[in-house]
């Protein structure tokens, strides 16, 4: 029987668009100063971990976060485009309020978490996103049985991982946080994911804004 794989899943550090509430999707937005600090803090928190490999979305906000972890742990870093955020098509770059104003019917389907809804312009449905993430995680984790890997990705990806691990449907209201640079722990077996720990942010506490920006 294949051995289980331990997974540390990390959402990228903060970006200016996170602060502004803008939809990023596949747009390649970099970390802001707080996000860079968060990446360094996360790296320090994981420095003593035994990590076989780090896999990261190739978008720079995730990649920069993963690079910090790679430097601190010495683990090999590999780009995995399958860990990208959900594509939001023509709505990328807008705020949800703007979407409500421009396309109220789309906003309603979005708010109700219609699993089949895919925004125009190459957007991805929740069903497609969940299928993609389940396939990618299974493929990556199956190659590291008995070991531990790090996945660095995005808020939508973290949400899917939590739902897969807790067997919650795509339309279930979200009651769990998706904090930037939080450390989330899961266990993968051929039977699927299990939740070990979620949203550990202790490494991001106890510092002033001035220290974060120094």
Tell whether 78 is in a known binding site.
no
The residues spanned by each domain of the chain are 5-87+125-213
Confidence of residue 2 (pLDDT cuts 50, 70, 90): low
Catalytic residue at 12?
yes
Separation CA 60–CA 49 (nearest Å): 24
Tell whether 61 is in a known binding site.
yes
Residue-wise pLDDT tens digits, 113-157: 999 999 999 999 999 999 999 999 999 999 999 999 999 999 999
Q: Which of these is catalytic: 12, 26, 144, 154?
A: 12
Separation CA 10–CA 182 (nearest Å): 6
Superfamily for 5-87+125-213?
Answer: Phosphoglycerate mutase-like (3.40.50.1240)
Phi, psi of 35, rounded to the nearest 5 degrees: -60, -40
How much is the pTM? 0.95
Catalytic residue at 116?
no
Residue-wise pLDDT tens digits, 31-47: 999 999 999 999 999 99
Confidence of residue 209 (pLDDT cuts 50, 70, 90): very low
Q: Which of these is catalytic: 26, 80, 85, 203?
A: 85
């Amino acid at each position: 029987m294949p051995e289980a794989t331990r997974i540390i899943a990390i959402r990228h550090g903060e970006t200016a668009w996170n602060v502004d509430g803008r939809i990023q999707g596949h747009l390649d937005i970099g970390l802001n100063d707080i996000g860079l600090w968060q990446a360094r803090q996360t790296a320090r928190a994981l420095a003593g971990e035994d990590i076989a490999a780090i896999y990261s979305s190739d978008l720079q906000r995730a990649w920069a976060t993963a690079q910090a972890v790679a430097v601190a742990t010495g683990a090999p870093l590999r780009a995995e485009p399958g860990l990208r955020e959900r594509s939001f098509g023509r709505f990328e770059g807008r705020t949800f309020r703007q979407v409500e104003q421009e396309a109220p019917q789309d906003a309603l389907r979005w708010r109700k978490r219609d699993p089949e809804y895919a925004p125009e312009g190459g957007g991805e449905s929740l069903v497609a996103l969940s299928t993609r993430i389940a396939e990618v995680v299974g493929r990556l984790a199956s190659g590291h049985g008995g070991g531990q890997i790090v996945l660095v990705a995005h808020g939508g990806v973290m949400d899917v991982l939590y739902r897969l691990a807790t067997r919650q449907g795509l339309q279930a209201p979200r009651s769990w946080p998706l904090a930037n640079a939080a450390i989330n722990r899961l266990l993968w077996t051929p039977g699927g994911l299990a939740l070990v720990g979620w949203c550990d942010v202790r490494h991001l506490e106890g510092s002033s804004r001035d220290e974060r920006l120094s």
